[in-house]
Amino acid sequence: MKKSEPILITILRHGAVEGRAHIFRGTLDDKLSAQGVAQMQQTLARCPDAKFDAIATSPLRRCHDFAAPLAMRCGASLQVLPEFGELAFGEWEGLTPDEASARDPDKYQAFHASFGEQAPPNGESLAHFRARVAKGWQHWLEQDSGENRLLVTHAGVMRALLIELFGFTPAQVFQIALPEAACLRISWLDGHPPFLLSLN
């Protein structure tokens, strides 16, 4: 059944986490820090219409641990969707870019030069990642579960959605700063292309 009114979707990146900074965190399940929670709260406080009736989240704690209590406070439905987990970096999980480059110089150069099209060792390629995120997005939007939605996720997922929904190239999205608690807002009317309302 087609929706006659547009859906408003806010996409929120998790805030700062505990543990080492500036690493390939990917599937590592580090917790949000107190600073990270505050960053996310501050971002949502600046968003108009932040009264969500449906919330989806990555299963990783740095997203889920913020989304679950927020859903309870809003009285919103909560879905935990593995499709919105971060890119898997394989053998580079937990390493800084410099450490990954020193360990696998040729593979790191190929990964960096191809903007992720060349997968990390035993990791996930950008093509596979994009397909996974796109499938999750389509499935979530097709559900009749809210007109003002929030997705709590990762920078990689946000970049994949910018590619899939708005035609950005991989090279372009990796030039876009998506800091901790970054935010995208999208309007989507069934049968029409999505519209990017704001970025950060």
pLDDT attached to residue 2: 57
H-state helical runs in 30-182: 34-46, 61-74, 97-103, 105-113, 126-142, 155-166, 170-173
- Helix-helix angle 61-74:34-46, to 10 degrees: 50
- Helix-helix angle 126-142:155-166, to 10 degrees: 80
pLDDT attached to residue 167: 94
pLDDT digits (tens, 9 = 90+) for 22-75: 999 999 999 999 999 999 999 999 987 778 999 999 999 999 999 999 999 999
Does position 140 have pLDDT exceeding 70, yes or no?
yes
Specify whether the CB–CB gap between 150 and 185 falls below 8 A: no
Q: What residues does each domain of the chain span? A: 7-199
pTM exceeds 0.85 for this model: yes
Does position 1 have pLDDT exceeding 50, yes or no?
no
Nearest residue to 66 (alpha-carbon basis) of 40, 86, 84, 85: 40
7-13 and 183-188 strand pairing: antiparallel
Rg of the chain (C-alpha set): 17
The CATH label, of 3.40.50.1240, 3.60.130.10, 3.40.50.10800, 3.20.20.110, for the domain at 7-199 is 3.40.50.1240
pLDDT digits (tens, 9 = 90+) for 65-111: 999 999 999 999 999 999 999 999 999 999 999 999 999 999 999 99
pLDDT attached to residue 143: 84
Nearest residue to 97 (alpha-carbon basis) of 168, 173, 174: 174
Q: What is the mean pLDDT of residues 145-151?
A: 90
Distance CA(109)–CA(98), nearest Å, equals 11
